[in-house]
């Protein structure tokens, strides 16, 4: 592994100040993506700024209208928090589907969102539930946050601090997993929110996206048949050794139907 300096600040302010002072720093969350990347020398930062001692980044707050989850909250905490499971059951259901117990104990919701892996589960939750991504300097609607393959609206040095999710009337997530990695070949979150139906698709394209034609169909009639009747184009969808674009398009339809039926 390439040499780097290691820092463990205890406040957001110190983390941000360190980033500004370093040549080419990276924040470290659970390291589940970043450490393999460093080992393969696909990234060679001068400094790693570990966020694990910044206590304000961990935790779950529930109100009548929202749930707020700190960026450094591990998947396992979301999976097992009983109050959260009662308030927004789909979140525990998603956490249970992320990777394996070891990854769930280290990997964080903020790391997953900041990473914007095209096949990750939490981006579908954020976009499908109409969340707000809170950073150390501003708030970003999920609709504006995921900008491309491993790309987000975060500016260099900006720290994702929390995700704030309006409690949906109902929601479900259905994932067709790639059997070797467990990541989504296609995953669909369907939700009925205060602002109307939302459908978010992960695994199918460069980053998570909304299926607006399905949302319109659900606004007219909340039913699995309504979403299955929407023609899903393969244009722009990923085609790789795991699945061709037209197969992914078919899976979008099937997973969306299942998510609507389960919600
Ligand atoms: C074997 C394996 C299987 C997996 N399977 C799945 C799966 O099925 N579904 C799924 O969704 N995910 C899966 N993952 C991904 C995993 O769950 C983690 O969410 C993901 O790797 C991010 O890890 P992390 O939280 O440790 O972040 P890190 O790896 O530490 O960081 C990831 C990136 O985000 C940046 N970052 C982290 N936190 C912040 C922050 N607060 N502010 C700004 N930038 C930040 C880092 O600088 C880095 O660029 C899998 C991972 C592994 C290793």
Rounded CA-CA distance 190/209 in Å is 12
Check if the beta carbon of residue 107 is closer than 8 Å to that of residue 32. Answer: yes
Rounded CA-CA distance 211/247 in Å is 16
Computed over every residue of the chain, the mean pLDDT equals: 97
Rounded CA-CA distance 142/132 in Å is 6
Check if 37 has its Cβ closer than 6 Å to any atom of ligand 1.
no
Check if the beta carbon of residue 180 is closer than 8 Å to that of residue 119. Answer: no
Residue 69: what pLDDT?
A: 98
Q: What is the pLDDT of residues 12-38, one digit of tens each?
A: 999 999 999 999 999 999 999 999 999
Check if 183 has its Cβ closer than 6 Å to any atom of ligand 1.
yes
Distance of CA 33 from the midpoint of ligand 1 (Å): 5
pLDDT at 1 over 80: no
Q: Whose CA is nearest to atom 28 of ligand 1?
A: 31
* 176 three-state secondary structure: strand
Rounded CA-CA distance 85/2 in Å is 41
Distance of CA 31 from the midpoint of ligand 1 (Å): 7
Residue 2: what pLDDT?
A: 86
- The pLDDT > 70 percentage for the chain reads 100
Check if 70 has its Cβ closer than 6 Å to any atom of ligand 1.
no
Q: How confident is the model at residue 238 (pLDDT cuts 50, 70, 90)?
A: very high
Residue 158: what pLDDT?
A: 98
Q: Which atom of ligand 1 is nearest to the CA of 57?
A: 41
Q: What is the pLDDT of residues 142-182, one digit of tens each?
A: 999 999 999 999 999 999 999 999 999 999 999 999 988 89
> Partners of 146 in the beta sheet?
152
Rounded CA-CA distance 59/68 in Å is 8
- Mean pLDDT of the 183-200 span: 97
pLDDT at 127 over 90: yes
The answer for residues whose C-beta is within 8 angstroms of residue 86's C-beta and 6 or more apart is none
Check if 112 has its Cβ closer than 6 Å to any atom of ligand 1.
yes
- CA end-to-end span of the chain, whole Å? 45
Q: What is the pLDDT of residues 54-107, one digit of tens each?
A: 999 999 999 999 999 999 999 999 999 999 999 999 999 999 999 999 999 999
Phi then psi dihedrals of residue 136, to 5 deg = -70, -10
Residue 81: what pLDDT?
A: 98
Check if 45 has its Cβ closer than 6 Å to any atom of ligand 1.
no
Distance of CA 199 from the midpoint of ligand 1 (Å): 23
Phi then psi dihedrals of residue 142, to 5 deg = -55, -30
Check if the beta carbon of residue 215 is closer than 8 Å to that of residue 152. Answer: no
Q: Please give the order of strands across the beta sheet that includes 5-7.
A: 5-7, 47-50, 25-28
Per-residue tokens: 144: 């504006």
Length of the chain, please?
Answer: 263
Distance of CA 231 from the midpoint of ligand 1 (Å): 33
Q: Which atom of ligand 1 is nearest to the CA of 160?
A: 42
């Amino acid at each position: 592994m390439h040499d780097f300096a290691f820092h463990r600040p205890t406040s957001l302010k110190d983390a941000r100040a360190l980033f500004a002072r370093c040549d080419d720093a990276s924040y470290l969350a659970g390291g589940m993506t970043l450490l393999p990347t460093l080992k393969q020398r696909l990234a060679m930062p001068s400094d790693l700024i570990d966020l694990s001692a910044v206590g304000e980044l961990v935790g779950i707050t529930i109100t009548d209208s929202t749930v707020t989850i700190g960026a450094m909250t591990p998947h396992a905490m979301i999976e097992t928090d009983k109050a959260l499971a009662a308030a927004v059951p789909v979140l525990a259901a998603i956490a249970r589907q992320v990777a394996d117990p070891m990854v769930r104990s280290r990997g964080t919701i903020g790391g997953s969102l900041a990473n914007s892996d095209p096949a990750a589960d939490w981006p579908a939750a954020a976009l499908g539930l109409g969340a707000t991504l809170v950073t150390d300097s501003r708030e970003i609607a999920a609709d504006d946050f995921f900008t491309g393959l491993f790309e987000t609206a975060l500016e260099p040095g900006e720290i994702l601090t929390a995700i704030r999710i309006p409690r949906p009337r109902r929601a479900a997530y259905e994932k067709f997993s790639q059997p070797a990695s467990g990541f989504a070949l296609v995953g669909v979150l369907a939700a009925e929110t205060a602002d109307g139906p939302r459908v978010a698709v992960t695994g199918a394209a460069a980053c998570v996206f909304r299926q607006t034609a399905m949302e319109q169909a659900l606004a007219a009639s909340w039913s699995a048949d309504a979403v299955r009747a929407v023609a899903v184009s393969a244009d722009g969808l990923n085609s790789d050794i795991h699945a061709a674009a037209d197969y992914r398009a078919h899976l979008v339809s099937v997973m969306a139907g299942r998510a609507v039926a389960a919600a």
